[in-house]
């Protein structure tokens, strides 16, 4: 974790921003796989980590702004536990490291909340994504799971987002490290994958690199010959000569900072000429997005630059036609690129997605409802310290091609006959991570092979 | 999954055993790591898998015994989902494969339960370990999370245990396969580990073998130079010459059958003479437990045979003294072996632990409260088709040595001065999986290197 003063300052700022009341921050519990004691790897709540840095299950924290107290609630291990688990720091020792001196057993949390209720203090809590925390809130404060969406504190959400979205120098060190290991994961995949392997074998090799570095994967690995399927965690196919292989994978380090990268490479040693053409367009779109990044410039512009570059590139190959600006405004490019160019990244790979994309990516402004643009997670002007991904891609999605061509959609912008000849082409995406500074965007982590010669060199 | 008739027959038997009422079986949902859409790998509820075989999140099933209907509740994907996820079978198609023809949307489950309530049908549900399912039960049937422990159906628990504990020939094929891959995981660790590596690197290599085989780990991997810490998932140490390395890891295949094995090997190419002596005692205890296994014989006898062998072996080395039977009855052996010799295994690595150990391992009889014996998960007579582990070990637990020697415990049985000279020795365990037959116990899976020459041969 960071030094004590980091957490003390973060909480001081939070208290100033929220102004008054009682802030309840729930840490995560262990998550059961198939019975209570057989658990997935522990993942702490990111906001709890941000303000307290304690990567340990079963904790809750109460920040009483009105009375200026901070308390961590949690139960120490018994001697029986220690015989089974080895020596463990106490909750008080853990709390001391983040500058919190008040520690109480979990059973006292309900009393503390009850007392606050009788004095009419306002209780601030965040939207909850973990069911165990929904149960805690029900039992502690009588808020049912269905009511959380209406009763969470928007003031608290806005305050947390405004702090967590600006990454400090010490955070950037950790994010750079996470991206570096993410690069290692991708380079290993490019060197390792061979025709005849299963996708699972390649995914396992990528996963191994993350675990061996002492952390974990920051999200479920995509490692597939069906890159056109955007949410694809199936690893059952055998990979063969001529296939494209798409990897989307990232590392989460011991402090839970994430990296998030994508690569696409040929299963054969070389790209085919058709693959080269489409790959080239994705690279041009990638560069167009990067070129459109600017300090205080809306990220939406980078997204639209990528959309236009994809539409233009596809026009040069005879897939599309007509005026590019009109096509992008109408959403025709989304046939090939139905998702967004990037998202915030930090302690979460989609940073603070639990707090609401409209606050993290849109400053509270409404999102577009148009297919394609509605999937853009980040649109607002970029401040110094914003960390985000750039990941335009081109996908031939058979189901979407069939749906839209059957509906007679976008006849003025799409050459459907040509598109159908590429129905089984697959998908291509590259993805990199950046931080905005007052002098423009900077790449995070060491460079990952991206040009076709660089990628082919690793396939040799 | 198995053929349709397997599941139909299992449900028929369940209905006959429970007799009347309405059985609610909840499948698991996806589990969020750090926000709702960033999930751990999906793990279906094992009992749901056993009766329906559908490895898919968000389902519930209602078996109405009185009206002889079986219904699966779940929501199909939309075309929007399919664009992102690729083509997916419908719930009806999934249900058809397990012989269920009635499929309804999730929203109708509450009505179905409400209707049953008005006709006074008895609702049977199982103890729940997933918080999302506790919330479902609250919303569907008004049973609060705290009430589940009193209101679950013991008849249903007993019926499910009586079916799931007897593994059929087709299940044993899958369990053997899971154990075979588990053996591969251990052999890879023995070949791979080298002085200077981190524990995490070895754990990652083991994990990779499981993922590459297309399944997953059946429980969090233990890969440690501190084998004396029984629940140890810390992988931060560097391993060095002279250390003992303990691995406890197993494979869970695509049908979710588990393997569970342990190995202990020297980080150096050879065991030291001290390590050889203790290792030899664990092997003798292992063999004593296996020799004590018998059709319809209580597993407790195998456990006590292992305890005695450990106490005897430690006596021959001067760690213990006195009458072995008295010492084991008093629990003195538990200084070195504070846990149990084995547990049931199947769709869960600790099979059906969610349903209650007292039913799975003790036929409802009370467990001992003595330190050591209270941790034995399985004691009852073994029937043909029972699948279980054998895993005695010897551990020098500094915290326990300090505690008991400080309390002056077991002075008649323990030479504390000698024990203290081994305070930092570590721990040794081997573990294998067996099935009971009418002709005695049979080893599951291919043999794993276990003798010292076999282990050293892999360390070459």
pLDDT in tens, B108-149: 999 999 888 888 899 999 999 999 999 999 999 999 999 999
User: What are the structure tokens assigned to B435, written together?
Assistant: 């099935």
Q: Which of A28-37, A100-109, A231-240, A410-419 has the weakest average pLDDT?
A: A231-240
Strand extents, DSSP E, B60-219? 60-64, 69-73, 102-104, 123-125, 216-217
Q: Which pLDDT tens digit goes with each residue over B350-386?
A: 999 999 999 999 999 999 999 999 999 999 999 999 9
User: Nearest to residue B51, comparing CAs of B137, B148, B124?
Assistant: B124
Q: Which pLDDT tens digit goes with each residue over B420-455?
A: 999 999 999 999 999 999 999 999 999 999 999 999
- The 10 Å CB-count burial string (b at 16+, else e) for B398-416 is bbbbebbbeeebbeebbbb
pLDDT of residue B231: 85
pLDDT of residue A89: 93
User: For the residues A387-398, what does the mean pLDDT come to?
Assistant: 98
Q: Which of A114-123, A233-242, A403-412 has the weakest average pLDDT?
A: A114-123
- Looking at A193-272, list the stretches that DSSP marks H as alpha helix, in order from N- to C-terminal side: 199-212
> In angstroms, rounded to a whole number, what is the distance separating the alpha carbons of residues A426 and A189?
18
Distances in Å between the Cα of A146 and the Cα atoms of A216, B38, B224 are 32, 21, 43
Are residues B212 and A231, on separate chains, in Cβ contact within 8 Å?
no
Domains of chain B: 4-164 (3.40.350.10), 169-458 (3.90.230.10)
| Res B387 pLDDT > 90 | yes
| Res B86 pLDDT > 90 | no
Specify whether the CB–CB gap between B186 and B448 falls below 8 A. yes
The phi, psi pair for B46, rounded to 5°, reads: -65, -35
Are residues A353 and B403, on separate chains, in Cβ contact within 8 Å?
no
User: For the residues B73-89, what does the mean pLDDT come to?
Assistant: 88
> In angstroms, rounded to a whole number, what is the distance separating the alpha carbons of residues B382 and B361?
10
| Res B81 pLDDT > 90 | no
Measured between beta carbons, the chain A residues lying within 8 angstroms of B204 are 207-212
Tell whether the torsion through CA atoms of A186, A192, A196 and A200 is positive or negative.
Answer: negative
User: For the residues A292-305, what does the mean pLDDT come to?
Assistant: 98
| Res A118 pLDDT > 90 | no
pLDDT bucket at B82, cuts 50 / 70 / 90:
confident
| Res A406 pLDDT > 90 | yes
Nearest CA in chain A to B38: A219
Specify whether the CB–CB gap between A387 and A371 falls below 8 A. no
pLDDT bucket at A248, cuts 50 / 70 / 90:
very high
- Looking at A343-451, list the stretches that DSSP marks H as alpha helix, in order from N- to C-terminal side: 357-360, 398-406, 416-421
User: For the residues A129-157, what does the mean pLDDT come to?
Assistant: 96
| Res B84 pLDDT > 90 | no
Specify whether the CB–CB gap between A378 and A299 falls below 8 A. yes
As a whole number, the mean pLDDT across chain B is 97
User: Nearest to residue B452, comparing CAs of B279, B317, B314, B286?
Assistant: B279
Specify whether the CB–CB gap between B273 and B228 falls below 8 A. no
**What secondary structure letter does DSSP report for A260?**
-
User: Nearest to residue A161, comparing CAs of A355, A365, A11, A367?
Assistant: A355
pLDDT of residue A147: 96
| CA angle, A328 then A329 then A332, to 5° | 45
Strand, helix or coil for residue A48:
helix
pLDDT of residue A117: 81
- The 10 Å CB-count burial string (b at 16+, else e) for A125-163 is bbbbbbbbbbbbbbebbebebeebeeebbebbbbbbbeb
User: Nearest to residue B434, comparing CAs of B254, B256, B297?
Assistant: B297
Q: Which pLDDT tens digit goes with each residue over A420-433?
A: 999 999 999 999 99
pLDDT-above-90 percentage for chain A:
95
User: For the residues A212-221, what does the mean pLDDT come to?
Assistant: 98
pLDDT of residue B233: 86
Reported ipTM: the value is: 0.97
User: What are the structure tokens assigned to A451, written together?
Assistant: 């040009």
As a whole number, the mean pLDDT across chain A is 97
| Residue entry with tokens 């690893």 | A235
Parallel, antiparallel, or unpaired for β B102-104 and B123-125? unpaired
Specify whether the CB–CB gap between B244 and B190 falls below 8 A. no
Strand, helix or coil for residue A447:
coil
Q: Smallest Cβ distance to B85: which of A83, A231, A348?
A: A231
pLDDT of residue A87: 85
Burial of A173 (0-12, 13-18, 19+ CB in 10 A): exposed
User: What are the structure tokens assigned to A59, written together?
Assistant: 């904790």
The answer to whether A196 faces chain B, any CB pair under 8 Å, is: no
Nearest CA in chain A to B339: A84
> In angstroms, rounded to a whole number, what is the distance separating the alpha carbons of residues A151 and B53?
39
User: What are the structure tokens assigned to A114, written together?
Assistant: 């009850």
Specify whether the CB–CB gap between A344 and A386 falls below 8 A. yes
Strand, helix or coil for residue B310:
helix
Compute and round to an integer the Cα radius of gyration of chain B: 24
Measured between beta carbons, the chain B residues lying within 8 angstroms of A347 are 34
CB pairs under 8 A between A and B: 176
User: For the residues A245-265, what does the mean pLDDT come to?
Assistant: 98
Query: Which phi-psi region, left, alpha or beta, contains residue B416 (left: φ > 0; alpha: ψ -120 to 50)?
Result: alpha
The answer to whether A149 faces chain B, any CB pair under 8 Å, is: no
User: For the residues A188-214, what does the mean pLDDT come to?
Assistant: 98
Query: Which phi-psi region, left, alpha or beta, contains residue A331 (left: φ > 0; alpha: ψ -120 to 50)?
Result: left
- Looking at B292-397, list the stretches that DSSP marks H as alpha helix, in order from N- to C-terminal side: 299-316, 324-330, 357-360
> In angstroms, rounded to a whole number, what is the distance separating the alpha carbons of residues B43 and B29?
8
The answer to whether A84 faces chain B, any CB pair under 8 Å, is: yes
| CA angle, B257 then A240 then A335, to 5° | 95
**CB atoms near residue A358 (< 10 Å):** 15
User: For the residues A281-304, what does the mean pLDDT come to?
Assistant: 98
| Res B156 pLDDT > 90 | yes
Q: Smallest Cβ distance to A211: which of B35, B79, B207?
A: B207
The answer to whether B406 faces chain A, any CB pair under 8 Å, is: no
Measured between beta carbons, the chain B residues lying within 8 angstroms of A210 are 204
| Residue entry with tokens 């996806």 | B30
User: What are the structure tokens assigned to B17, written together?
Assistant: 């055993």
**CB atoms near residue A418 (< 10 Å):** 14
| Res A80 pLDDT > 90 | no
Parallel, antiparallel, or unpaired for β A244-249 and A222-224? antiparallel
The answer to whether B145 faces chain A, any CB pair under 8 Å, is: yes
**CB atoms near residue A296 (< 10 Å):** 10
Q: Which of A113-122, A328-337, B260-269, B294-303 has the weakest average pLDDT?
A: A113-122
> In angstroms, rounded to a whole number, what is the distance separating the alpha carbons of residues B265 and B34?
37
Specify whether the CB–CB gap between A337 and A329 falls below 8 A. no
User: For the residues A8-18, what does the mean pLDDT come to?
Assistant: 98
| CA angle, A27 then A29 then A30, to 5° | 145
> In angstroms, rounded to a whole number, what is the distance separating the alpha carbons of residues A369 and A158?
23
Distance from CA of A211 to the nearest CA of B (A): 5
* B:260-319 residues touching chain A, CB 8 A cutoff: none
> In angstroms, rounded to a whole number, what is the distance separating the alpha carbons of residues B221 and A84?
16
Strand, helix or coil for residue A458:
helix
User: For the residues B177-202, what does the mean pLDDT come to?
Assistant: 98
Strand, helix or coil for residue A396:
coil
Measured between beta carbons, the chain A residues lying within 8 angstroms of B32 are 129-130
Nearest CA in chain B to A254: B236
């Amino acid at each position: 974790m960071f030094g004590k003063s980091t957490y003390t300052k973060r909480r001081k700022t939070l208290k100033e921003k929220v102004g008054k009341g009682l802030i309840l921050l729930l840490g995560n519990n262990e998550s059961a796989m198939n019975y209570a004691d057989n658990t997935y790897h522990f993942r702490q709540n990111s906001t709890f980590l941000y303000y307290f840095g304690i990567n340990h299950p079963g904790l809750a924290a109460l920040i009483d702004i009105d009375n200026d107290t901070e308390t961590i609630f949690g139960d120490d291990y018994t001697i029986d536990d220690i015989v089974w688990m080895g020596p463990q720091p106490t909750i008080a020792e853990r709390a001391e490291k983040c500058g919190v001196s008040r520690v109480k057993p979990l059973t006292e949390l309900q009393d503390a909340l009850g007392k606050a209720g009788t004095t009419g203090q306002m209780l601030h809590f965040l939207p909850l994504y973990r069911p165990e925390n929904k149960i805690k809130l029900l039992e502690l404060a009588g808020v049912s799971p269905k009511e959380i969406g209406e009763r969470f504190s928007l003031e608290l959400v806005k305050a947390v987002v405004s702090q967590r979205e600006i990454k400090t120098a010490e955070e950037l060190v950790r994010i750079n490290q996470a991206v570096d290991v993410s690069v290692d994961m991708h380079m290993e995949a490019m060197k390792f994958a061979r025709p005849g392997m299963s996708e699972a074998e390649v995914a396992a090799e990528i996963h191994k690199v993350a675990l061996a570095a002492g952390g974990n994967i920051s999200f479920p690995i995509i490692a597939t010959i069906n890159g056109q399927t955007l949410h694809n965690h199936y690893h059952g196919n055998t990979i063969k000569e001529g296939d494209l292989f798409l990897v989307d994978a990232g590392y989460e380090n011991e402090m839970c900072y994430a990296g998030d990268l994508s690569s696409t490479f040929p299963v054969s040693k070389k790209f085919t000429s058709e693959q080269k053409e489409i790959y080239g367009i994705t690279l041009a779109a990638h560069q167009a997005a990067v070129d459109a990044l600017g300090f205080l410039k809306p990220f939406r512009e980078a997204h639209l630059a990528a959309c236009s570059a994809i539409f233009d590139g596809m026009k040069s190959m005879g897939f599309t036609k007509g005026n590019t600006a009109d096509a992008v405004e109408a959403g025709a490019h989304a046939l090939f690129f139905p998702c967004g160019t990037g998202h915030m990244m930090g302690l979460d790979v989609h940073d603070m997605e639990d707090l609401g994309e409209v606050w993290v990516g849109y400053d509270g402004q409404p999102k577009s409802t148009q297919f394609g643009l509605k999937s853009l997670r980040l649109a607002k002007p970029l401040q110094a310290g914003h960390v985000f991904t750039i990941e335009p891609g081109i996908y031939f999605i058979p189901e979407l091609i069939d749906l839209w061509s059957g509906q007679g959609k976008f006849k003025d912008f799409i050459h459907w006959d040509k598109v159908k000849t590429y129905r089984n082409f697959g998908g291509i995406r590259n993805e990199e991570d950046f931080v905005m500074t007052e002098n423009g965007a900077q790449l995070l982590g060491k460079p990952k092979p991206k040009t076709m010669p660089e990628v082919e060199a690793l396939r040799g």
